[in-house]
Structure 1
C-alpha cells in the first residue's frame, strides 16, 4: 500500500443544477494526497462539512493517507472478515490431515466417529432437520472420505448435506461444555437409541479427543475442550472372559472336526489356520498373512515363526489398493520390526502337512482360498461355527466357549501363562506389553493362587 503524509485541502465547492439555474443541488469536497487530486460529492452541505472535518482531523493528528483512495488509513474499508470455521469444515480438514498415514480401519473409525457427533453439533434454531440416520449416511458415504466427495449425490443426500452445511456450528461454540457433552453423549448411543458397547464408546472418544487436539494445534482452542467436561464413559471390560478359553483336549477335538466341515475340504484347508491362532497365539490378521518363508519347520522338535506383517481386513473403500486386505506391519510394533514365536511340535507337524496338501499361494502365503485369494473373516468364521457344532456338546455350543476364532488366541496365551511361562516371555511371544498382558488375562490365570499360598505358608513357617 502506497501512503503519504503530504495532504492539502480546498474549500467545499457548491454545485448548481443546469436544469434549475442558480439552485445548489450538491457539494464537492476536494483535496490532494501526494499531489494527486481527490474529490467526494455529497447531496447535503452538512455531510460534506463533516467529511472534510474528518479528513483535516486525521491530517492534523499525523495519520497517513492512502494515495490510491485518498483516505486516511483509519477510514479505509475494513476487509471482509473470514467466516468462522464450522465444525463440518474443520472435520474435513482433520480427516485430510489424518488420512494419508492412517490404517484402513482407522480411516473407517475416523469417518464413523465424525458422522456420529456431527448431527448434534448444529444450531438450535436450524429448522427441518433431516433424519439422523440420513445425515450419518450422507456423511459416511458421500462427504467425509476424500474419495467420496466427488460421487454423484441422490436428491435426498444432497438436501441433507446442504442443510448440514448451513446448520453446522462454528468451532467457537462447539468447544463450549454443553456442546462437548452432547457430542460425547452421542458417542454413547447407537442409532436406535440403545447404549453402545463400551469398547465402541472408548474407541470413538479417542478419535474425538484427537480431533480436538488437532483443533488446539491449529489455534481453534487453547486447550482440549473434553478435559473441561466431567463425563463418565461406560466401564470398559477389557479383561478376557475366562469362559471362552478352551483346553488342549478340546482344541484337538476341534481340529479333528475341521476335517469333516465343508465341501471340497473347506474345513481341512483352514485347519492349520486355527492351529496357528491357538498354538502360536497369532492374531487372525497375522495368521492370514503367514508365508512359508516365515516358518522354520524341522522334522522333529520345536520350530518357530518369524512374523513381520499382517493383513487386517476392512472395507475396500478404506484401503489405498481398493482391496479388502492391505498389508501392514505388526500391531503395536514399529514398522519393519519382527516378532519371533517358538511353536511346539504339534503345530510344526500340522503346518508341514498343510503345505504338502495345499501348497502355497503365488506370494508364498500358507492360507488361501481355492482361487488363491486371501482368506476372509467371514469364511473362517463360518467354518469355525460349524466346527463348534461338531466338536462341542449342545450346552457348550450355546456358551461363550471359543465362540470366535479370535478366542483361540486368548486360549493360547492363557495356556502359556498357566503353564508357568514368565509373563515377560509370554508378552514377547504374544506381541503385548507385560502390563497389558496381565490386565487382559487376569481372569484366565488359574492355579497361581494355590502356588502363591504355598510359598507364603513356607515363608511364615520359616
Structure 2
C-alpha cells in the first residue's frame, strides 16, 4: 500500500521517482536445520511412547508401534503408513531388518491420481520399487511382533490402518500425539517446540545415531537422506562434538 501511495505522489510530480524502487529486499536464507529444542532425549521419548497407549480406547494402542517405528527406526510418517507385513523380517532374537518400499503420503484429493486422500508412491528421493533396508533393534522387533499378533495386517498387508482398514490420516495420529504430550510432558514442555510433531521422533532417532558415533554415510542410508543434506539438517543436534574437537586439537598440538 505504501509503495502505491508513493507511486501516486510521483504521478502528482511531488517526487521525481519512487524511492522504494532503489531498495533491494534480501530474503533470509533458510538452511533447513532442525530446531534442537524439538529433539527429545531417551527418557522423554520413552515417556511419550508409553503415553500414546493411554490415548483413547483403541486408537492410541493401535498406533503405538507406528510411533515406535519412527523413534527407533527413523522412518517417516508416510513410510510408516505404507509399511506392509512383507516389508518386515522379524525373527525373535537380535537386530532385524525392514525394507519399506511404499509410502502413503496424504494430499488433497484433487492432487492425487486416484482421487483419494492417499496415493501409494515410492520412497522419498528414490526410484519406484527401490527399497531402503533399515536395521532395527531388538526392542522395536518385539514391539512390531506384538502389534502384528494383536492386530494382524490389513487386506493389502499394511500394518497400520484404521479400525475399518483404511489409511490413517495425518490429523488422526497428530491428535493422538497431541494428547500423549499432555500426559508425558510438563506444562512448560507442552508449550515448547519439544516433540511438537510426530515427525520429531524421526529427528530424535537420527540425532541419536549421529551422537552415538554412527558414520554419516551409514546414518544417511538408514534415514533415506543424502549425506550432505543430513549433516546440514542435523548439524546442531549433534551434542558434544565441540569438546571432542577441542580434545583432538589439543592432542595434535601436544604431539
Q: Under a length normalisation based on structure 2, what TM-score does the superposition of the two structures give?
A: 0.88
What do the CA deviations read for 1:165-194 (whole angstroms, capped 9, x no partner)?
xxxxxxxxxxxxxxxxxxxxxxxxxxxxxx
Describe how 1:40-51 pairs up with structure 2 within 5 A: none
Q: What's the offset of the Cα at 1:457? A: 1.4
Q: What's the offset of the Cα at 1:338? A: 1.3
Name which of 193, 217, 235 aligns with 2:29.
Answer: 235
What is the aligned partner in structure 2 of residue 320 from structure 1? 113
Q: What's the offset of the Cα at 1:234? A: 3.5
Secondary structure at the aligned position of 1:365 is classed as: coil
Q: Which runs of 5+ in 2 are unaligned?
A: 1-23
What is the aligned partner in structure 1 of residue 47 from structure 2? 253
Describe how 1:137-176 pairs up with structure 2 within 5 A: none
2:172 is the counterpart of 1:364: no
What is the aligned partner in structure 2 of residue 345 from structure 1? 138
Q: What's the offset of the Cα at 1:231? A: 6.2
Q: Which runs of 5+ in 1 are unaligned?
A: 1-229
Name which of 441, 445, 456 aligns with 2:234.
Answer: 441
Q: Distance in 2 between matches of 1:309 and 1:256?
A: 28
Q: Under a length normalisation based on structure 1, what TM-score does the superposition of the two structures give?
A: 0.49
Q: What's the offset of the Cα at 1:460? A: 1.3
Secondary structure at the aligned position of 2:119 is classed as: coil
Larger Rg: 1
Decide whether the 8 Å contact of 2:31 with 2:233 is kept in 1: no
Describe how 1:92-241 pairs up with structure 2 within 5 A: 232-241=26-35
Q: What's the offset of the Cα at 1:461? A: 1.1
What is the aligned partner in structure 1 of residue 123 from structure 2? 330
Q: After the TM superposition, which segments of 4 or more aligned residues of structure 1 sit over 6 Å from their partners?
A: none
What is the aligned partner in structure 2 of residue 378 from structure 1? 171
Name which of 148, 168, 171 aligns with 1:355.
Answer: 148
Q: Distance in 2 between matches of 1:331 and 1:258?
A: 27
What is the aligned partner in structure 2 of residue 38 from structure 1? none
Provide the alpha-carbon RMSD of the alignment.
Answer: 1.2
Task: Select the structure with the greater relative contact order (CA < 8 A; seq sep ≥ 6).
Answer: 2
Secondary structure at the aligned position of 2:135 is classed as: strand
Q: Distance in 2 between matches of 1:395 and 1:380?
A: 22
Q: Distance in 1 between matches of 2:233 and 2:239?
A: 14
Q: What's the offset of the Cα at 1:427? A: 0.6
